[in-house]
Structure formats: C-alpha cells, structure tokens
Amino acid sequence: MEALSVNVKSFTGKIYSVLDARCSQVYFAEFKCENNEILRLCEDCAITLEELKDKVLKEKDNIIFVGDGSEICYNYLKNDYNNIFLSDINSRYCRASSVGMCVNEKNAMKAENIAPAYLRLPQAQRNLKKG
C-alpha cells in the first residue's frame, strides 16, 4: 500500500491507496506527503465503499486514489465530491521501483522480514464460517 503512494508522491493532499477486495470492499491505507516524505496516516485495513464514502465526507484536503481499486472508488464517489482525483493510469499500479524506494527509505528493512499482511479471510473460509 505504501509503495502505491510513492507513485503519486508529488500530489498535494491525501493519498488513498486502494486495492479491490471484491464484494463492495477495498483494502485501504491513507498517506500524505510532507517534505518529500510519505507519512502513513492509518494502518492497512479492509473497508466497504460506504465506509470509504463516510471517510471522504469528513475530509477537507484533496484526495487522490491510487491502486487497482482506484477507478472503482473514484466512480463510486465522483458525482458527490469535487475534491477527489483518479491517479494517472501510469501511476495507478504498484511498481518494483516504488517498493525499492520504500525499502531504501526505511534503511533497516531486511528481505527476511518482508511478508504479506492478510487483512481478511479468503472468500472460501468466510463462506465456510457462514455455515
């Protein structure tokens, strides 16, 4: 999520990294760039599009969506808000160079410490729990 935010580092306002989680949900993280440094404003989470709409409603800054869920979010909200923007297609998806920049900025990250973070159970397990 952080690597996605690096793609739009020059944007003035909030950066919403969003990945399509299906079922009217997105994986979400909020960032802001200050002094050429990306600042994380919340932990990665899974939220519904309606929860995202509530978040945008409270936001005063301009917002840019980046990630494979950005077009979904932008289209869901564009008729109600003037302060939202869709990232350019060339900056919308994760790049290896952006991941490298994040690792380089952290200075202490080691390859063995890099692991995926699962924010919700897979659909099959959620269905199994339903009964």
- Which pLDDT value is given to residue 111? 64
- Which pLDDT value is given to residue 128? 75
- Which pLDDT value is given to residue 69? 97
- Which pLDDT value is given to residue 104? 66
CATH superfamily assigned to domain 2-130: ATPase, nucleotide binding domain (3.30.420.40)
- Which pLDDT value is given to residue 63? 97
Task: Look up the pTM and report it.
Answer: 0.82
How many CA atoms within 13 Å lie on the side-chain side of 101? 17
Beta bridge partners of 34: 37
CB 8 within 8 A of CB 62: no
Largest pairwise CA distance in the chain: 51
pLDDT beneath 70: ranges in the chain: 102-124, 126
Instruction: Write the pLDDT tens digit of every residue in 7-33.
Output: 998 899 999 999 999 889 999 999 998
CB 15 within 8 A of CB 5: yes
The residue whose two tokens read 């002094």 is 35
